Structure 1
Amino acid sequence: MDLHAWLSLLDAREYTIAREVIMRGVALVFVIAFASTWRQFPALLGERGLLPAPRYLARLEQRGIRGGPTLFRFSRTPYSDRLLRIMCAIGMLLGAACVLGLPQLGPAWTTIPVFLVMWGLYLSIHSVGQVFYGFGWESMLLECGAVVGFLGSDAVAPPLLILLFLRWMLLRLEFGAGMIKMRGDPAWRDLTAMDFHHLTQPMPGPLSRRAHLMPRWWHRLETLGSHVVQLGAIWLILLPQPLASIGASLVILTQLFLMLTGNFAWLNLLTILVAFSAISDPFLRWITGGPWPGWGLPHGPGEGSGASDGGVLASSPLWWHVLVLAVFAGLVALSGKPLKNLFSSHQLMNASFNRWHLVNAYGAFGSMTTRRHEVEIEGTLAEDPDAAGEEEWHPYLFPGKPGPLARRSRQFAPYHLRLDWLMWFLALRPGADPWFVALLTKLLEGDPQIRRLLRADPFDGTAPTGLRVRLFDYRYASRAERRASGDWWVRTDLGVIARQGRGDRRG
């Protein structure tokens, strides 16, 4: 076999549809992520935010800490809201161009700089995002952004090595999550975890209550199904077709179920997109009524599915293979620690092993909470807050939090409500987190930026004279309770845990 024939084995001709889905889908997630940042970052981390990025960068410099890579260090000022929005606008425009398929029409390399620029811009934002950007799906998006551009344009066949790396990423996502569950909480081992998940998850969706009220045998099947897919079926993606496509399809089905029953930002959508790296064109054609795909290796050097215009793709040029090999080799070199982490008794969840957020460790819900506690912030306009009656206190409402008992949970994912997520974490361990103390201060000032992140300000912009923080225990109303009251929720008051007035810093 000559060199040309050997190199043709690296062309995954039967994955042209998968490439389109992955590239356009990841680009869409970037658009959503930059849009979320445009709207929320200035209020949370901007010049006058809760945890100002300029102050954060200054602290790093004073302590001699390098921190994450960010373009803000090279700007005239350490950070500005104007520069942030310029970066978001560029990111959204590039992402929209990829969703429309414009870079894919050029030479093989044209997709690479587009995705690398989006990755670099979002990495710059993430590096100063502090606790508001400390979620596993942020690293997922960065890893995808750095790699997906190397799938190439329509001028070349999808490169097998990049698809294999994406499968390795999917294995880290799913098997890592499965092992975290088995190691982290006996509720996953005795199959009772899903008895609580739909109730206690950070941000329920419209179908979460119905899912929670399903019988116990159903919840046992949910938990068992999660283990079967994450610990067993996921390994099918490393086998020949159509087994790889079957394994990936099972992952996609479980992720769709999670999307329907909760709000996990773009976690589920990104996992679905990465899973397409194992789904071949013949398998997709079979789903739409074509013949059953034959057995084969995870690539198709012989009969190609053809380019997007129906023609057969020519063999990729030598320089393209050399570039892909170099990128793949670099990613393999970074895979040692993540591989060890998968099988470590001290497995890390949602961890990055390098500053560039490449080849990360993933996982979620290693421990399952059994009660749903909610922190509610109330304000008053009473001249003396300490003497205010109950009727003078009114709650600030958040878009993704339960709030009023009659309010049905909404669907927000794949959009990411960062403040709402941190309010859920706060309820697990109520305390004086710096961002929460700053939030109370901003509410006392009637800050317009923070008000725009709320669902409702009871005082319509007027600064309250005092605030109090209450803790509630929430549960879903049973079917009988909902018929009687019309309420979606039932709650128990656990008391006032903090008070604050103008010029007061009690907590």
Structure 2
Amino acid sequence: MWDWVSAPDYWAARFAVQHLIAIGYLLGFTSALRQFRGLLGERGLTPIPRFLARVAFRGSPSLFHLHYSDRFCAGVCWVGVVGSLLALVVDLAPLWVWIALWLVLWLLYLSIVNVGQVWYSFGWESLLLEAGFLAIFLGPGSVAPPTPVLWLLTWLLFRVEFGAGLIKLRGDSCWRDFTALYYHHETQPMPGPFSRWFHWLPRTLHKVEVAANHGTQLVVPFILFAPQPAATVAALIVVVTQGWLMLSGNFAWLNWLTITLAFSAMGSWLLRWVTPAPPPLTAPPPWFVAAVLAVTVIFVVLSYWPLRNMLGRRQVMNRSFNRLHLGNTYGAFGSVTRTRYEVIIEGAAGSDGDWLEYEFKGKPGDPRRRPPQVAPYHLRLDWLMWFLAISPSYGRTWLPNLVAALLRNEEHVLRLLRHNPFPESPPMFVRAHLYRYRFATRAERRETGAFWIRSRVGDFIPPLTLEDLA
């Protein structure tokens, strides 16, 4: 029975996918470990205990409904980090050990995402969970890769790419007139060190980039299901495109996971040069075959909702249709902002003191600072600050708490920032201004040494004290 659902020639593809997903988990758990206290801890900006008090287990399945403390959450993150490292080296473990390890990783990360609130509302969180769940059923290196699971991984890649292509074509007109990249590199959430160079490329090349993007996301996904070597060629196009995106911006582990999924469609004739030789492959027990077929049926049923979303007139991006984050719909940049705004937060020690800026780790602040390379790591507060500049409504659940934390010099929140201008004692006042940012031209860069040129637009938050917040 196993012969007709196994794909021994895809052993190298399975090896690449599993190891890259394990690194994705490592990034996710490390990000949570380093940031959860300031964002979600008991004294964080949106504390998990408050969320658990108003949302039942059925609404957000999570281990934290059983117990929550900052120490327990840190323990969960550490178990996830260690488990991710083990997943990189247990290729030849017994089948039940393999399944148990990957299942634990999925349950732990699901528990974090489902209480992560606005900080975990990004599509790549659901993408990691869906890919990680399918990895449970890929099996260890001693078992031939199951064909249905490889197809499901390819189907997941199809939804990521085709969904993103559709939302662009249906959304902002700049994708249809090929002018989107006149703005995108400058106004994207978190530019990288090469984004300014990409922005100042000739506009003709920008139009070529948009045309290539449409081809990669609207045509190439169908070729992923073609016979070899066409499927491998299509997967390589995805890899090259995602690599281009990684160079031009910081999109956490979205590009990393998309490249990971592309390996599921690659034949061994290409990957055998970069993966070890396979061990003797054995047939799995009947219960594992039954589990693979059951999961396949479940995902076929779950595919109804993302298909309906992609084919419908009101397509939405990055939505999970269930609390387990399986069978999701994906997409990115259905609209492109034309002007970049930044919220710059400042503090003052007294009414007649100097106003000093708070610097964030990734988002633009000091015009003379080169945009850093952050991805595939994810700076959650920095991303939310980009949304905040678009509309203050994005900060309604956490911005007042951020201001209060700065006025108290709360350590866990300040660790989310690059620089605290008041290391000795907290400021008396905190305020925020809205600035317009644009990339410096080559001449401006030579003259001023700045990467950004900014101009003040107006007040965003008036000067506030702790008494004002109370």
TM-score greater than 0.5 by the shorter chain:
yes
Shift, 1:152, TM fit: 0.4
Please give the alpha-carbon distance, in whole angstroms, between the structure 1 residues aligned to 2:166 and 2:424: 48
- Aligned AA for 1:244? A
* Partner-residue secondary structure (3-state), 1:122: helix
Please give the alpha-carbon distance, in whole angstroms, between the structure 2 residues aligned to 1:441 and 1:491: 27
- Aligned AA for 1:13? P
2:411 matches 1:462: no
TM-score normalised according to structure 2 size: 0.96
Please give the alpha-carbon distance, in whole angstroms, between the structure 1 residues aligned to 2:279 and 2:383: 48
2:78 matches 1:89: yes
| CA RMSD after TM alignment | 1.7
Please give the alpha-carbon distance, in whole angstroms, between the structure 2 residues aligned to 1:363 and 1:241: 27
For residues 86-109 of structure 1, the C-alpha deviation after alignment (integer angstroms, 9 at most, x for no partner) is: 11111111100112x22x212234
* Partner-residue secondary structure (3-state), 2:141: coil
Shift, 1:311, TM fit: 5.2
Aligned with 2:235 (options 224, 227, 248): 248
- Aligned AA for 1:186? S
Q: How does 1:138-157 map to 2 (within 5 A)?
A: 138-157=125-144
Alignment partner, residue 308 of structure 2: 340
2:198 matches 1:207: no
Shift, 1:313, TM fit: 2.8
For residues 375-414 of structure 1, the C-alpha deviation after alignment (integer angstroms, 9 at most, x for no partner) is: 00000012x2xxx37xx11100001011111110110111
Higher mean alpha-carbon deviation, 460-469 vs 349-358, is at 460-469
Shift, 1:506, TM fit: 6.8
* Partner-residue secondary structure (3-state), 1:362: coil
Task: Give yes or no for contact 2:141–2:278 (8 Å, CA) kept in 1.
Answer: no
Higher mean alpha-carbon deviation, 405-414 vs 494-503, is at 494-503
Shift, 1:309, TM fit: 4.2
Task: Give yes or no for contact 2:309–2:329 (8 Å, CA) kept in 1.
Answer: yes
- Aligned AA for 1:400? G
* Partner-residue secondary structure (3-state), 1:27: helix
Please give the alpha-carbon distance, in whole angstroms, between the structure 1 residues aligned to 2:249 and 2:256: 12
Shift, 1:244, TM fit: 0.6
Q: Count residues in correspondence.
A: 469
Alignment partner, residue 62 of structure 2: 70
- Unaligned stretches of 5+ residues in structure 2: none
Aligned with 1:396 (options 340, 354, 358): 358
2:451 matches 1:488: yes
* Partner-residue secondary structure (3-state), 2:360: coil
Higher mean alpha-carbon deviation, 340-349 vs 65-74, is at 65-74
The alignment-based identity, stated in percent, is 47
Shift, 1:82, TM fit: 0.7
Alignment partner, residue 195 of structure 1: 182
User: Greater Rg, structure 1 or structure 2?
Assistant: 1
- Aligned AA for 1:252? V
Task: Give yes or no for contact 1:56–1:128 (8 Å, CA) kept in 2.
Answer: yes
Shift in CA distance, 506/446, structure 1 to aligned 2, threshold 3 Å: closer
- Aligned AA for 1:114? L
Please give the alpha-carbon distance, in whole angstroms, between the structure 1 residues aligned to 2:278 and 2:124: 35
Aligned with 1:12 (options 7, 10, 14): 7
Alignment partner, residue 43 of structure 1: 38
Please give the alpha-carbon distance, in whole angstroms, between the structure 1 residues aligned to 2:260 and 2:448: 42
Shift, 1:11, TM fit: 1.3
Please give the alpha-carbon distance, in whole angstroms, between the structure 2 residues aligned to 1:467 and 1:324: 56
For residues 253-302 of structure 1, the C-alpha deviation after alignment (integer angstroms, 9 at most, x for no partner) is: 100011111111100000100111100111335x88xxxxxxxxxxxxxx
Aligned with 1:412 (options 374, 381, 391): 374
Shift in CA distance, 35/41, structure 1 to aligned 2, threshold 3 Å: same
Please give the alpha-carbon distance, in whole angstroms, between the structure 1 residues aligned to 2:59 and 2:379: 25
For residues 144-165 of structure 1, the C-alpha deviation after alignment (integer angstroms, 9 at most, x for no partner) is: 1111121100111111100000
2:335 matches 1:373: no
Task: Give yes or no for contact 2:190–2:249 (8 Å, CA) kept in 1.
Answer: yes
* Partner-residue secondary structure (3-state), 1:377: strand
Task: Give yes or no for contact 1:477–1:490 (8 Å, CA) kept in 2.
Answer: yes
Please give the alpha-carbon distance, in whole angstroms, between the structure 2 residues aligned to 1:268 and 1:227: 17
Higher mean alpha-carbon deviation, 359-368 vs 50-59, is at 50-59
Please give the alpha-carbon distance, in whole angstroms, between the structure 2 residues aligned to 1:130 and 1:311: 43
Shift, 1:503, TM fit: 2.9
Please give the alpha-carbon distance, in whole angstroms, between the structure 1 residues aligned to 2:162 and 2:277: 37
For residues 425-471 of structure 1, the C-alpha deviation after alignment (integer angstroms, 9 at most, x for no partner) is: 00001356220111001001111111111101111152101011100
- Unaligned stretches of 5+ residues in structure 1: 289-306
Shift, 1:60, TM fit: 2.3
* Partner-residue secondary structure (3-state), 2:466: coil
Please give the alpha-carbon distance, in whole angstroms, between the structure 2 residues aligned to 1:74 and 1:96: 26
Shift in CA distance, 308/8, structure 1 to aligned 2, threshold 3 Å: farther
Aligned with 2:206 (options 219, 238, 243): 219
